[in-house]
Amino acid sequence: MLQSSRNQEPERGPGPEQERPSGQAQAQAQEPAPVAVPGRAWLMLALATVGFAVNFWAWALLSPLGPRFKDSLDLSSFQQSLLVAVPVVVGSLGRIPVGALTDRFGGRVMFPLVSATTIVPVLYLGLAGHSSLTALLAGGFFLGIGGTAFAVGVPLVSAWFPPERRGLAIGIFGAGMGGTAVSALTTVKLVDAHGLAAPFLITAAVLAVYAVTAALLLRDAPGRAVPTEPLARRLAATVRLGITWQASALYAVAFGGYVAFSVYLPTYLKTGYGLPQADAANRMAGFVLLAVAMRPVGGWLSDRLGPVRVLTGSLSVLLAGAVVQSLTPSLAPVGTIAFLAMGAALGAGSGAVFALVALLAPGGQVGSVTGIVGAAGGLGGFLPPLVMGVLYGKYGDYGAGLALLGLVAAAALAFTGTGVRHAVSRRAPAAPAAPARTH
């Protein structure tokens, strides 16, 4: 990375070199790619992606069991929604300090630390914390620590890759959100076969193995910028950045929508369509897997077409899918197509948002920006399950909730085409300077 940055700087000096077409400049910036992206960078990306997936697996353990706890503890729809939403909001808000700490201490320290800490609530929930709603909420609160792993991985991965590869790299890392699919596919089956403690014990063991592996193998990028200012001052500076709030608004819709569906879709399908719990969990896993697969695609397309175009297309598909599903069509085939289309759009949109962050965020503040944007995404997933539970409890129908999603998607689409497009066109010419400041 350091060598790549040095090689790029002379091309930006005074004189005719500045007037080269952007396509030619990009091609020249990619010439040293073999040096800028060594095999070790891809290894770090793989380790970070696995760590993200494992922590998200733990973070999502309560969601597939929501209907079971509702029946065994006689919970209301709102209480069930609260149970699965608490880890989401804690994991989201926790990304703000964790992202800033990652800027300071690096992913090599923070990934093993977050993974090891998450073991404690996982064991508590599996062995003792499932006998009452209060115990589950307490365990779910600390289970949210696993959700902060996202704010560790983005700055770690971003530092290893040059700007023209960051959209793809961060998109690949973002595919680790598929850990929620692992939870959806395995949790209920393990409970049925081996008892309630089984999925929690297995997840705790996997977290322990990863924490040790990351401590031994994970490394921060050479030349990583290490901020020296106090945490509060760095966070205050991050809050003043336009990209922080632009990306936060979009990620609240894209990733927030993904989180909301991943935690609430089993309940939606079971209650709204009468599907068995296992069938509902499997269908949710299909939704999640498609969203996961589309996230690196969204990052890759953003590297080539620009994040604004990818976001525009993704939000348009989300709007159309929400409108169709608000009419509560039959599940086969219209409802299934609508949900899968929304899953693909949410995944691609999530990848495009962090391609936007990689393009516009100052290098030394990527972790802090990621923390706030990630928090916004998680909080965007916190409210919809609660709203859906309240609306269903009052009207016995989910159509109004999907209509609200359509309105939010329309607002985000308008914002992308105006404010975000202007920010990219205004600041894009300065973006190539970021590697020199960062590494």
- Phi first, then psi, for residue 77 (nearest 5°) are -60, -40
Q: Residue 363's closest CA among 167, 149, 103, 171?
A: 103
pLDDT at 143: 93
- The C-alpha atoms of residue 292 and residue 351 are separated, in whole angstroms, by 10
CA distances from 19 to 13, 22, 25, 306, 318 (A): 10, 9, 9, 21, 39
* Helix residue ranges, H only, 218-327: 231-239, 242-273, 277-305, 307-326
pLDDT at 22: 44
Q: What is the amino acid identity at position 141?
A: F
CA 250 to chain centre: 12
Q: Is residue 74 classed as helix, strand or coil in its secondary structure?
A: coil
Structure token pair of residue 422: 């202007």
Q: How buried is 357 (Cβ within 10 angstroms: 0-12 exposed, 13-18 middle, 19+ buried)?
A: buried
287 neighbors 339 (Cβ within 8 angstroms):
yes
- The C-alpha atoms of residue 238 and residue 366 are separated, in whole angstroms, by 9
- The C-alpha atoms of residue 143 and residue 187 are separated, in whole angstroms, by 15
pLDDT tens string, the chain, 439 residues long: the values are 444 434 443 443 444 333 344 444 444 444 444 445 778 889 999 999 999 999 999 998 988 888 888 888 888 878 887 888 788 888 888 888 898 888 889 999 999 999 999 999 999 999 988 888 889 999 999 999 998 998 899 889 988 888 778 888 888 998 888 888 788 788 988 999 998 999 999 999 999 999 999 999 999 988 777 777 787 888 888 888 888 999 999 999 998 888 788 778 888 888 888 888 778 878 887 888 898 899 899 989 998 899 999 999 999 999 999 999 989 899 889 999 999 999 999 999 999 998 888 788 776 777 788 889 888 887 887 778 778 878 887 777 788 888 888 999 999 999 999 989 988 887 644 334 344 333 3
* Terminal C-alpha separation, the chain: 6
Q: Residue 295's closest CA among 373, 206, 355, 365?
A: 355
Cis peptide before 333 (omega within 30 of 0): yes
pLDDT at 141: 93
Structure token pair of residue 232: 């509060």
- The C-alpha atoms of residue 87 and residue 314 are separated, in whole angstroms, by 27
pLDDT at 14: 42
pLDDT at 202: 96
Q: Residue 343's closest CA among 388, 421, 400, 285?
A: 285
- The C-alpha atoms of residue 315 and residue 313 are separated, in whole angstroms, by 6
318 neighbors 345 (Cβ within 8 angstroms):
yes
The CA-based diameter of the chain, rounded to the nearest angstrom, is 73
Domains of the chain listed by start with CATH number: 39-221 (1.20.1250.20), 234-425 (1.20.1250.20)
21 neighbors 182 (Cβ within 8 angstroms):
no
Q: How many residues does the chain have?
A: 439
Structure token pair of residue 238: 């991050």
Q: What is the amino acid identity at position 64?
A: P
